[in-house]
Amino acid sequence: MAYTDLRDWINALHTAGELKRITQEVDPILEMAEIADRAAKLGKGTAKAGGPALLFENVKGYPGARVLMNQFGSERRMNLALETNSLDDIADRIRILIRPETPTSFMDKLKMLPKLAEVGSFFPKVISAKEAPCKQVIHRGADVNLLALPILKTWPQDGGRFITLPCVVTRDPKSGKRNVGMYRMQVYDGQTTGMHWQRQKVAAEHMRERLRATTPDLAGNVDLMAITSGGTAAAASLDTLSTTTLTKIRGDRMEVAVAIGTDPATTFSAIVPAPPDVEEYLIAGFLRQKPVELVKAETVDLEVPAHAEYILEGYVELGELRTEGPFGDHTGFYTMQDDYPVFHVTCITHRKDPVYAATIVGKPPMEDAWMGKAVERIFLPLMQLTLPEIVDVNLPPEGVFHNLMIVSIKKSYAGHARKVMNGIWAMGQAMFTKCIVVVDEDCDVQDLAEVTLRTTNNIDPERDIQFTLGPVDSLDHASRLPNYGSKMGIDATRKWPAEGFNRPWPPMLTMDTEVKAKVDALWKKLGIE
């Protein structure tokens, strides 16, 4: 059965022995983050890596508040969160959906009907406000106060407190499709936060669509991305606009809602690289095998998770930017200050005695490493749908997911590895991958020692390393320009004569099968271990 809400999930963590209740008083300013960081790194490098989930029940300055952290912080808990024995099992379910067997008879067609009905049952369901726990307490207008929430400051040089695990809901002004994304939010005061919409994110594109509709003559004359999602060009772009145009832009608003403390599948769905036409609410329903229950927000025309602990409602005003950051990021470095849209909170609804959910990012491995690994395993079939020659991928946590991807392929022709590199760079959020290493299908990409051996032995650097220019992640502090820089591909596959390698390629060392079997039978008797 799917977890109904965060509390149901907390109970499951407790039952599984995966929850540690912290009853000592702990400050949300830095102290909680330090405890969560140490917990996340317990067992580093072992099969039991990742400490327990943490429920802080004595929050300094916030009597009665509770804060949940590190809920996804191990392989076992990630499986538990998505109610599976293996993340690859979910990938197999996706494969069946995207590549169903072609029915050859009337009976085969009838057998497919339950599968189609199952998919239809995953669509979100809107319930009444009376049934929605997130509406138990409602604050409007002057009663809105973000400072009443136990929001964390996680690193010493952070620009302030940040909401770090929000499900941010926006709507495409053209298609009406909802998007749920996870974007950090710096708290400025009781009613406003920053909204860290990097320019390549879906919510930023929703805002650009709203801007295009408001002032259609702007598109060729000004950097829409800078105006809507910050960056160093923002101020210059705004300066080019006339007072009349600027007033018109700033007179328009885009509605936003933020859910904090949802069931684990809904929280996880906010980070997945969803196909453009698939709503995250549907993905959450697929993962939990049960539809997400939604409810209409109080003051904005958006549907929000009905069982969330907190809902923040409000708007961003087109063209309004404010300095956000610094922020200690998942790269292990601080993301420095930049300008981003401002979120104005007009209403807060929450459950009675709400549980605040947070995470901390920093030097890996941390909680987000396990979430990223889940994305890697679950969405491998979607990569293979576009590039069927891909056998497996590995996004090592130390590569912070967008800095290094290791790919094994079934090589079929000269230059095949380079074709795969370019295909990955053309694929959604994978376009940000700074380094791609391509190996042959018999290399286990999850074994970094094996990958290192293959790569360093199989390449002639001048011949096998490819550089290209293109968009890079906004968090890449080393790129030559913000959001634009170089990327590298390494072809570590065996080279063929058609690729200019005319000497025999040496075989790798392997022992005779019969000898290995004989030693296997003797091994325990030898007393070596």
pLDDT digits (tens, 9 = 90+) for 190-231: 999 999 988 778 888 888 888 777 766 555 444 555 555 555
Q: What would the DSSP string read from start to end of 165-219?
A: SEEEEEE-TTT--EEEE---EEB-SSSEEE----TTSHHHHHHHHHHHHH-GGGT
d(CA 73, CA 15): 17
d(CA 147, CA 502): 69
Q: Is the dihedral of CA 261, 43, 443, 422 positive or negative?
A: positive
C-alpha distances (whole Å) from 70 to each of 75, 127, 277, 361, 491 are: 12, 30, 31, 10, 37
What CATH number was assigned to the domain covering residues 379-499?
Answer: 3.40.1670.10
Q: Which residues of the chain have pLDDT under 70?
A: 97-120, 215-251
| Phi, psi (degrees; rounded to nearest 5) at 345 | -90, 120
Domain boundary assignment for the chain: 6-81, 125-357, 379-499
d(CA 350, CA 138): 7
* Mean pLDDT rounded to a whole number for the chain: 89
Determine the pLDDT at residue 222.
46
Active-site residue, selected from the candidate residues 37, 329, 338, 368: 329
Can 460 be counted among the known catalytic residues?
A: no
Q: Smallest Cα–Cα separation from 466: which of 496, 492, 448?
A: 492
Q: Smallest Cα–Cα separation from 436: which of 486, 475, 484, 380?
A: 486
d(CA 203, CA 302): 14
Strand 19-22 versus strand 327-328 pairing type = unpaired
**Number of neighbours of residue 428 by Cβ within 10 angstroms:** 16
Determine the pLDDT at residue 235.
47
d(CA 331, CA 408): 25
Q: Which amino acid is it at 126?
A: V
What's the CATH class of domain 125-357? Answer: mainly beta
